[in-house]
Amino acid sequence: MLIELYPDSANGLFLAQILLFALALDSALGDPRWLYSVVSHPVVLIGGLIEREEKRLNRPHLSRPWKIWQGMLLSFWVIGISTLVGVLITWAAGWLPLGWVLEVLAVSSLMAFRGLYDEVKRVAVFLDRSLADGRWAVSKIVGRDPESLDDAGVARAAVESLAENFSDGVVAPLFWYCLLGLPGLCAYKAINTLDSMIGHRSPRYEAFGKFAARLDDLANLIPARLAGLFLVVGAALHPAADHRKAWKVMRRDARKHNSPNAGWQEAAVAGALDFALAGPRRYGKSVVDDPWMGNGRSKLGSDDINAALSLYILAGILAAVTAVGVLVLLG
């Protein structure tokens, strides 16, 4: 499909150049608030579509099998529209004068490398000010009850979010863009947004969001493991990390996580920096009694968040270089 949409996609240089520009733009600007105060972010648009259709389709009186079916219909509808938008932008990039700029902007907006860094860095800065400020900052990136967290809990939550979202926000978008171009990247972001909005085990979404949650697990199956590997290799370049222990802990503990994917990144970070991550956590009134990833320190602070951020940067650079290299070599 991409060979038909692009005028000259056989050598992959076109896609590689677009990805390079997009990554540079994302690294420099992230998600500029001034821009998205004027126009809606693509993920916000996808979320708005999901929210509107969920209210229409997810009726309390429906049977469980019918809710699952309705959730499947919503998922296919949202993914289909998102993919079609990606196809149209891809066509414009290949055939219209300066159309490639539109694809650069689209790809950049769907990458979260700088945005994730900024959100987690803010937790470290605010935690240095006070526990209350740290709780407020971490509440923007995790779903657990911030009032139940002490200083170490805030720091650990930030590191865990950084590790888990390294796959969702960086490696998986790169993977799907390399595999299927912008249409694949748009489809992935739709799947990921569906999971974040309706893929919960709550009474409202347990049946309706079941398909979306399983589809997200499938879409992240390979990227999550690649993300773990990038973190292990990044640890070899990090002066304070141990790549051998990162590899050992990832292989030993990743499958203990209640998520089929998140454990690979969390275990790799835990082993690399001698942390203990995951473990029991509170979400609202419920406590999730997860096993620990790693057997290091669980009492973390802002300095540990910064150490994890530096490892994240190294792993992100490795992921970006790999993605661009794949496009150039394989087309």
Over residues 4-33, mean pLDDT = 80
One-character DSSP codes across 71-106? HHHHHHHHHHHHHHHHHHHHHHHHHSTTHHHHHHHH
Over residues 41-54, mean pLDDT = 92
Two tokens at 261?
């994917």
Over residues 171-186, mean pLDDT = 96
**Predicted local distance difference test score (pLDDT) of residue 8:** 52
Is the pLDDT score of 321 beyond 90?
yes
Instruction: Give how far the C-alpha of residue 75 lies from the chain's centroid of Cα atoms, to the nearest Å.
Output: 18
Whether 86 and 186 have beta carbons less than 8 Å apart is answered as: yes
Q: In terms of pLDDT, which residue wins out, 306 or 201?
A: 306
Kindly report each contact of residues 295-298 with a partner whose C-beta sits within 8 Å and lies 24 or more positions away, as own/partner.
Answer: 295/249, 296/270, 296/271, 298/152, 298/156
- Residue-wise pLDDT for 227-263, tens only, equals 999 999 999 999 999 999 999 999 999 999 888 999 9
Q: Which of 32-41, 66-75, 121-130, 271-280 has the lowest mean pLDDT?
A: 32-41
One-character DSSP codes across 158-170? HHHHHHHHHIIII
As a whole number, the mean pLDDT across the chain is 91
Whole-angstrom CA distances from 254 to 121, 160, 174, 247, 293 are 25, 13, 22, 10, 7
Whether 78 and 46 have beta carbons less than 8 Å apart is answered as: yes
